[in-house]
Amino acid sequence: MKIIDCGIAIKGKKGTDCQSCLFPGFCVLPSGRWIVSCRAAPARNNNWNQRVFLSYSDDQGKNWSEPFAPFKPVEFNGKIGVFRGGYLTSLGNEEVFAALHWVDYTNPALPAFNEKTTGVLDCLIFISRSFDGGLTWSQPEFVDTFCYFNWPVPVTGPALYIEPDCLVLQFELNKPYYDSSPWQHASILLFSRDRGKTWNQPVIVAKDPENKIFYWDQRASVLSDGSIFDVFWTYNNESCSYLNIHARYSADGGKTWSEIWDTGVWGQPGHVISLPDRKIAMPFIQRDRYPVIKIRVSDDLGKTWPENTEMMIYNSATNFEGIEKKSMKDTWAEFNKFSTGWPVATKLDNSDFIIAYYCGNHPDHTNIEWIRIRP
């Protein structure tokens, strides 16, 4: 593999209310247009004025449009909410589907995480569509998950597009803000068989019955043969420590699943993508003294990821001082120190692929950058 191009898609503008750019998405349309999404705000740990930015390029990343925020705050059940994440999926031609992460903004003074209960502000799922290549968008529509799960449901990535009529939302279960009961975490997929008109058939992909292991931040992907490959940032809730990345696989569109397994790779994963010769690639970040983003390749459907396939794509010059974690409060406090992360992989129309991620020299001042790689 080799890097053949790179650039900045959305630049965090220091001293403005959009200097913190986080949680990128990257979508490639049949026309060749690239669309990047991110959450923009004045600071990382700041709910005030956060919104989803989009920017597009029609010349393979040489030039990018001025970022714009098409999704306005939405009121639901008497609560005003803002969008903290937006992840795009191409549905063919100029149609684009957005999975939106809505967060309760009724009381702007509340932090996202309640240190006393380990609950979070209410999170809902909305969806929107564009029929002109991402320029204009429909009014966001609420996706009802209450009939299945009455807990916050943050979106963890773009909708999967498995076949002409099948869309799949990916999200996880967090805990209500003032709920003092134990956090029953799960990573879930929600299926639609009519292109998003109705949603049913939730599948719990990863959940530890003993509530010891949290399979956080699932990153589900559709491989070139139509199978689903899901990876998880894996956390031991008892020892407050991170384990290796774990994975699970479905060969039949999510009807049945393999046993979950340890990939042998430590870190926080991004979405897996197909490469030629039935290989797959996985980007991931490792946060040690200096955070680094890497890629490894597997030729046995993700069972092993040999170290000799590893390629470094980003090496932060900023020293990362982690926190000694004795509780979920400490773990969450460490999140707010991150200035590099969230690698997402997207294939281009040839064998090349893009890795996008956020990075910067300070947690409150980050860009959305990208690298183009040729296998």
Distance CA 48, CA 62 (A): 32
Per-residue pLDDT at 324: 83
Question: Which has the higher per-residue pLDDT, 332 or 288?
Answer: 332
What domain range is 157 assigned to? 2-374
Among 39-48, 73-82, 112-121, whose mean pLDDT is lowest? Answer: 39-48
Handedness of CA 103, 104, 109, 115 (dihedral sign): negative
CATH number at residue 364: 2.120.10.10
Determine which helix (DSSP H) or strand (DSSP E) holds 206, and give its type and residue range. Answer: strand 200-206
- 179-190 confidence digits (pLDDT tens): 999 999 999 999
Backbone phi, then psi, for 31, in 5-degree steps? -70, -15
Q: What's the half-sphere exposure (Cβ side, CA atoms, 13 Å) at 58?
A: 6
In the chain, the percentage of residues whose pLDDT exceeds 70 is: 99
Please compute the mean of the pLDDT values over residues 133-144 and round it to a whole number.
Answer: 98
232 contacts 241 by C-beta, under 8 angstroms: no
What 3-state DSSP class applies to 123? strand
> Residue 127, Cα to own-chain centre: how many angstroms?
15
Give 319's pLDDT tier (boundaries 50, 70, 90): low
Return the closest-CA partner of residue 218 out of 292, 157, 169: 157
Residue with token string 């797959």 = 280
Q: Rounded CA gap, 25 and 356, in Å?
A: 7
Q: Which residues does residue 7 pair with via DSSP β-bridges, in sequence order? A: 370
Secondary structure of 301-316 as H, E, C letters: CCCCCCHHHCEEEEEC
pTM beyond 0.85: yes
More confidently predicted of 291 and 34: 34
**In angstroms, rounded to a whole number, what is the distance separating the alpha carbons of residues 143 and 129?**
14
How sure is the predictor about 290, in pLDDT bands with cuts at 50, 70 and 90?
confident
CA distance 99 to 145: 14
| Separation CA 166–CA 337 (nearest Å) | 38
CA 137/CA 66 separation, integer angstroms: 17
Q: Assign 288 a pLDDT band (cuts: 50, 70, 90).
A: confident
The number of folded domains in the chain is 1
Does residue 321 carry a pLDDT above 80?
A: no
- Binning pLDDT at 50, 70 and 90, where does residue 295 land? very high
